Amino acid sequence: MNKVVKQKQIGCLILCCMLFVCDGALRAQTFDRSVKTASNFEAAIPHPDQQKHAAEKLKQLHAKTGQRPNIVWIVVDDMGYGDPGCYGGGIAIGAATPNMNALARGGLRLTSCYSQQTCTPTRSAILTGRLPVRTGLIRPILAGDKITRNPWADEVSLAKLLSDSGYHSVLTGKWHIGEGEGLRPHDVGFDEFYGYYPAQKEISQRFDERRYPDLVLNEDLLAAFELIGPGVDLVHGFAGGKTETVSSIESTADMGNADQALADFSVAKIQEMAAQGKPFFMEHCFMKVHADNFPNSKLKGSSAAKYYYKEAVAEVDLHIGSIVGALTDAGILDNTFIFVTSDNGPQMDSWPDSGYTPFRGAKGTTFEGGVRVPGIAYWKDMIQPGRQSDGLFDLMDLFGTALTLAGVSRDSLPSKKYYDFVDQTSFLLHDQGESNREAVYFWWDAELTACRMREYKLHVKVLLPQTPNLQIDMATLQTTGLAPWLFNLYIDPKEQTTVGHRRNAWLASVGAKLKAHAATFKLHPAKRIGLDY
């Protein structure tokens, strides 16, 4: 081919590509309603009237109670989107959830509420307002892991911010963000911790000879495991004070009763804190319904299905009722913001000891099944009963919302860190509130995989299980082909048929959002703490 002609052809191709990119970027601006107010904060959709209304509502409540509101987060471990009755499960799948249903009926049921795809990432993200890849907590810290630096050393937790502002901050239940000194809840901002450091499975595998005979019945292996295995103790720790062992789990029967003791503690603690007249932040993290589930000896047969997982769902629901009951009995329900959720989708690898999601994928993937979770916001007389919204809500938004409710200024946050939360106070409190979040970004390990904007979700990388239920233990990460996978979740909630490259406007728009998100890491590099594979 003539050299000049070839150069012209290459020139034309580059120009066409530039025009497409420019065109895409311009159109992206028209799709994107969010506005950045600071370079280190996630952009939010402005709703000035909604915001004014919410601020006035909070002011009136404060005038009535004379105290800042209490904040209670209830986090169920690995509960599926489809498990609670108010999300289509409940009685229909063998485990009634009357208490979660009542909260949903009395408040706001979110249908596009997102977690990270596993435990540690979600739990750390909601307490820091930052994506796991920014804090280094990109996956669960497991037996034998050696982290290279303390991820909390330069992070400021919500528990600390609230405690510094006069709240009593307490975490009950599962922690799962490290158990060495400097990593424990009462080292990183909680005034008080009453719970266990690891997940149920990491404790029960020492005792469950039916599921783990090769470990439990082999003395040498068990001894080796004990050297690196996480703790089995119920710990009561105080910031700057003592850390006591209350009891230890020594059998699967003990494991089954763990959540009863945790619920009893939270109920008593609520009574105590209400009597002290100081605002409080309580994060109650259930051990259940994460595998391996064992029955509460007092509650056997409380679900129609009778399977241990279903018994666990029914039990968790019962305890949620007790916690709400304690707030009611203490006369502080109208001054307490309650949020009920799950830290990720169901863990299908442990089926049938696992939950239900109507969506594609499960825990460990960034398809909807792994990250779309129940989200119930309840606040008597403050959140309009019976509301439902598909507005985007990332569980990290609880961080920014809690700051606003407690009257803690963003100026308290380190100015050199990037924050991914969006303050959703006005979305929750306005009777017809709309979400302030324009996009949700999905990460797996240190890989940016997908982005949702309105009803569209674009994947650039996907986790594909090589056998149906092993979405963690036998899944491979793959980069999508020439066109990213773009699903319209309104017509394709199971993410089965991409609308493909003919939707260039949306590809460009969501793609531009994803690229802008990736660009934030140039100024604010990801943190590594030794959890990369």
> Which residues make up the interface to Ca ion (CB under 5 A)?
77-78, 119, 343-344
Cβ at position 341, least distance to Ca ion in Å: 11
Q: Is-cis flag, bond preceding 198, omega within 30?
A: no
Is the CB of 291 or the CB of 406 nearer to Ca ion? 291
Is the CB of 364 or the CB of 433 nearer to Ca ion? 364
Cβ at position 303, least distance to Ca ion in Å: 20
Cβ at position 68, least distance to Ca ion in Å: 30
Is the CB of 200 or the CB of 498 nearer to Ca ion? 200
CA nearest to 245, candidates 282, 196, 307: 196
- Whether 347 and 380 have beta carbons less than 8 Å apart is answered as no
Cβ at position 124, least distance to Ca ion in Å: 12
Cβ at position 226, least distance to Ca ion in Å: 24
Residue 101 is given by DSSP the state H
Is the CB of 346 or the CB of 484 nearer to Ca ion? 346
Cβ at position 140, least distance to Ca ion in Å: 8
From residue 474, give the alpha-carbon distance in Å to each of 410, 449, 477: 42, 18, 10
Kindly list the strands in the beta sheet with 485-488, ordered across the sheet, starting from the edge strand earlier in the chain: 439-444, 447-453, 456-459, 485-488
Distance between CA atoms of residues 427 and 165, nearest Å = 24
Is the CB of 94 or the CB of 346 nearer to Ca ion? 346
Q: Which residue minimizes CB distance to Ca ion? A: 119
Is the CB of 185 or the CB of 391 nearer to Ca ion? 185
Structure tokens at 284: 């109650």
Cβ at position 349, least distance to Ca ion in Å: 12
CA dihedral 17, 19, 23, 28 (to 10 degrees): 40
Cβ at position 115, least distance to Ca ion in Å: 8
Check the CA dihedral 388-116-201-234 and report its sign.
negative
Is the CB of 68 or the CB of 288 nearer to Ca ion? 288
Is the CB of 343 or the CB of 495 nearer to Ca ion? 343
Check the CA dihedral 250-254-256-261 and report its sign.
negative
CA nearest to 73, candidates 323, 372, 318: 323
| Cβ neighbours of residue 417 closer than 8 Å, sequence gap 6 or more | 40, 130, 134, 524
Structure tokens at 249: 């789990």
Strands (E) in 143-186, as ranges, are: 168-174
Token pair 């000891």 is at which residue?
353
